[in-house]
Structure 1
Amino acid sequence: MRRAIAVVLLLAATAAGCGESSSAPPRPGPGAAARFLDRYVDPDGRVVRRDQGGDTVSEGQAYALLLAAATGDERRFGRVWRWTRAHLQRRDGLLAWHWRDGRVADRQPAADADLDAARALQLAARRFGRPALRRAAGRMAVAVLRRETAAGRLVAGPWARRGRVLNPSYSSPVAERALVTLGHHRRWARVRRHGIATARALVAGGARLPPDWARAGPRGAPARSAAPPGDPGGVPRYGFDAVRLPVRFAESCDPAARRVAAALWPRLRAGDPAILPRELDGRGVVGAVRTPVALAGAAAAAHAAGDAAARDRLLDEAEALDDRHPTYYGAAWIALARTLLARRCG
């Protein structure tokens, strides 16, 4: 009961500024969240990608922080944050993205993890009455603005500033609105506007799905791109990165953000919505697989479009698929979708 109440309180607290309602929310997330936390978080607070060699990434730590805050699990939140701070946090406040075999394997940060972690710290500070968490959130938020933005846009990380490399699924309108309370109101408002405008331009009114990667041109207009050097993939596709965008935008109470997610629903419901990756016109690529995270993304688009029945069916199917073939990533985004889409607007 305590966890369910905490979810309701968290959602109400983060709904400030909402101006448009959609379909009734899905079932709250404590069950899915607890399954992810129980399965993938070690007792010391490390989130382990058990199906990917047992390593740890900063995004996973951030997901666990968000879910622990949402379910009122203060003890586990504390363990996850202590491990993250001790093993991943850099001197500038950002998080090294990759840890393996007892040490940091790559010190580069990833902007999505830093943004999610700052949001989680800010929410937990209020939920658990811990001012130190608010200070930690503020430090990380400032570091994101200083090191992971360029010309007012959230870029993929410090390495991406020069080329203005964007990962559209890193943008989180809700996180960017929440961090306004920590200061730098105008800068966060600009980051949020650019993130929504970038996604809207890339989906072209629903004619295409968003790509995993993009670049901001000299005049700011985004262009679809292949993965940056060092990453696999030769052409722009809707893949395991982009699939997160519908969830991040559908949870927002900003009508402009929600319309972006809703515009994806006709494409995502065509054929098998569990297939990933897809071409930007919606066709599955050769070698595409059925994966729970694709269903979570499609469910979010259905939610934004007001199709609650499809949303619930897709989330249930995602859970059933993940039960048969458990994955860290699928379990995380099922839990996040159930939790984040439960926010009420109005």
Structure 2
Amino acid sequence: MSALLLAAMAGMATLTGAASPALAAAPQAALTVEPQDYLIGAWELYRSRFVSPEGRVVDDDNGSISHSEGQGYGMLLAVAAGDRANFDKLWSWTQQELFIREDGLAAWRWDPAASPHITDRNNASDGDMLVAWALLRAAERWNVPEFRKRARTISDALAAHSVSDVRGRKMLMPAAEGFAKGEQPDGPVVNASYWIFPAIAELATISPALAKAKLGESGTWLLRKARFGPAKLPSDWVSLGASDPAPARSFPASFGYNAVRVPLYLAWSQDADPALLKSYADSWSAQAPGALGTVDLPTGATLEPMTAPGYGAIADLVACASGERPARAETRNFVPTTYYPSTLHLLSLLAFAERYPRCL
């Protein structure tokens, strides 16, 4: 019997258990057996490649550093796979090494080659959101009230320190410092891929402060407005300095490795807007199935192909959400490449399992 099948069998009972009332409506409760098999086996491969024995997620695309985003992703995937032992290691490392700020948010960057290891104490709002989301799901799966309490604390801190009012809308800032009006030449500057729509919806159920910010509404508004150039896609970094969003001047005007997560989070959302997903489906329909690339927004030209299967998995997810096309074999059969596309691949499998199991 293969190691992957053994792993799938070991986690099956946990993943098919009933959800608690707090998350009864969450998509996690809708997992079916076959997608679970994909997810659990893929997690075992991912964990063995990218998670250290002490619980550090290693970003081999970026000098083997670790960051709050990667820890949050790892924790989220461990919960989905029912892997409590490795979730605890991931969370313990994250608490000890990253939660060193006084405001309840995590320092975003940890470098094994530096002393001290924290090389930037600023937070990354998507990393904080991912950690809180993973803790909330862990609290529900394993009945650990302390996880839920900490998820709310982080969510409340996000609302207090990383949400700003911009012309009457509450916008999620990329960090507590560095992106506001006066801190960027055309600030405020935001990153559309930091709006993790399914996380926002679930965390709003435990954090009145985050719920009051209505980030789901502001993120949808942003994506309707930030459709630039012939491709009608968002830039990685968006300026809100004028009445209409525009590509931020201090960053390339491109749909790149940040923004590629936007359609993943949209398709994963319970309230995905088909019109917003259509831009991505249309942009990729003329390419080979599963093919993506970074895009120069002023011209619409492809700058760099995204050839790893993890990027193609997002294209498959959008195709399924838009037109029920089944996922290709390259998406269903996870093979690790490097940290970032491998992570996106597993997140796409999780989104398939929770929202579109029929396409697997």
Give, in whole Å, the separation in 2 of the partners of 1:177 and 1:268. 28
More displaced 10-residue stretch of structure 1: 172-181 or 259-268? 259-268
State the partner residue of 2:245. Answer: 222
| Change beyond 3 A, Cα 1:11–1:222 | farther
Matched, 1:248 2:265: yes
Q: How much has 1:51 moved relative to structure 2?
A: 4.3
Matched, 1:202 2:226: yes
User: Does the 8 Å CA contact 1:268/1:282 hold for their aligned counterparts?
Assistant: no
State the partner residue of 1:33. Answer: 43
Larger radius of gyration between Structure 1 and Structure 2:
2
State the partner residue of 2:188. Answer: 164
Give, in whole Å, the separation in 2 of the partners of 1:127 and 1:6. 8
| Change beyond 3 A, Cα 1:38–1:206 | farther
SS at match of 2:64: coil
Give, in whole Å, the separation in 2 of the partners of 1:224 and 1:8. 44
SS at match of 2:266: helix
Give, in whole Å, the separation in 2 of the partners of 1:111 and 1:10. 31
State the partner residue of 1:184. Answer: 208
Q: How much has 1:262 moved relative to structure 2?
A: 3.9
Give, in whole Å, the separation in 1 of the partners of 2:272 and 2:12. 27
State the partner residue of 2:346. Answer: 335
> What amino acid is aligned across from residue 270 of structure 1 in structure 2?
A
User: Does the 8 Å CA contact 1:202/1:223 hold for their aligned counterparts?
Assistant: yes
TM-score scaled by length of structure 2: 0.81
Aligned length: 326
Identify the match of residue 95 of structure 2 among 64, 85, 104: 85
State the partner residue of 1:3. Answer: 11
State the partner residue of 1:263. Answer: 279
Deviation readout 1:222-244 (Å, 9 max, x if unpaired) = 22225x4xxxxx53111110111
> What amino acid is aligned across from residue 16 of structure 1 in structure 2?
A
Q: How much has 1:211 moved relative to structure 2?
A: 1.5
More displaced 10-residue stretch of structure 1: 44-53 or 291-300? 291-300
> What amino acid is aligned across from residue 44 of structure 1 in structure 2?
E
Identify the match of residue 146 of structure 2 among 132, 137, 151: 132
User: Does the 8 Å CA contact 2:61/2:340 hold for their aligned counterparts?
Assistant: no
Q: How much has 1:313 moved relative to structure 2?
A: 4.5
User: Does the 8 Å CA contact 2:310/2:331 hold for their aligned counterparts?
Assistant: no
Q: How much has 1:344 moved relative to structure 2?
A: 3.6
Q: How much has 1:278 moved relative to structure 2?
A: 1.9
User: Does the 8 Å CA contact 1:11/1:344 hold for their aligned counterparts?
Assistant: no
Give, in whole Å, the separation in 2 of the partners of 1:176 and 1:316. 27
Q: How much has 1:132 moved relative to structure 2?
A: 0.9
Give, in whole Å, the separation in 2 of the partners of 1:336 and 1:9. 21
Q: How much has 1:114 moved relative to structure 2?
A: 0.8
SS at match of 1:276: strand
More displaced 10-residue stretch of structure 1: 298-307 or 151-160? 298-307
> What amino acid is aligned across from residue 222 of structure 1 in structure 2?
P
User: Does the 8 Å CA contact 1:33/1:336 hold for their aligned counterparts?
Assistant: no
| Change beyond 3 A, Cα 1:244–1:26 | farther
| Change beyond 3 A, Cα 1:16–1:146 | same
User: Does the 8 Å CA contact 1:97/1:106 hold for their aligned counterparts?
Assistant: yes
User: Does the 8 Å CA contact 1:11/1:342 hold for their aligned counterparts?
Assistant: no
State the partner residue of 1:70. Answer: 80
SS at match of 1:33: helix
Deviation readout 1:115-152 (Å, 9 max, x if unpaired) = 11111111101111111111111110011111111111
Q: How much has 1:250 moved relative to structure 2?
A: 0.3
| Change beyond 3 A, Cα 1:260–1:5 | farther
> What amino acid is aligned across from residue 268 of structure 1 in structure 2?
W
| Change beyond 3 A, Cα 1:276–1:87 | same
Q: 1:47-66 to 2 correspondence within 5 Å?
A: 47-66=57-76
Q: How much has 1:212 moved relative to structure 2?
A: 0.8
Q: How much has 1:205 moved relative to structure 2?
A: 12
State the partner residue of 1:96. Answer: 107
User: Does the 8 Å CA contact 2:68/2:127 hold for their aligned counterparts?
Assistant: yes
The alignment's C-alpha RMSD in Å is 2.9
Q: 1:142-153 to 2 correspondence within 5 Å?
A: 142-151=156-165, 152-153=170-171
- Unmatched tracts of structure 1, length 5 or more: 229-233
Q: How much has 1:34 moved relative to structure 2?
A: 2.4
SS at match of 1:96: coil
> What amino acid is aligned across from residue 282 of structure 2 in structure 1?
P
User: Does the 8 Å CA contact 1:10/1:70 hold for their aligned counterparts?
Assistant: no
Give, in whole Å, the separation in 1 of the partners of 2:147 and 2:109. 23
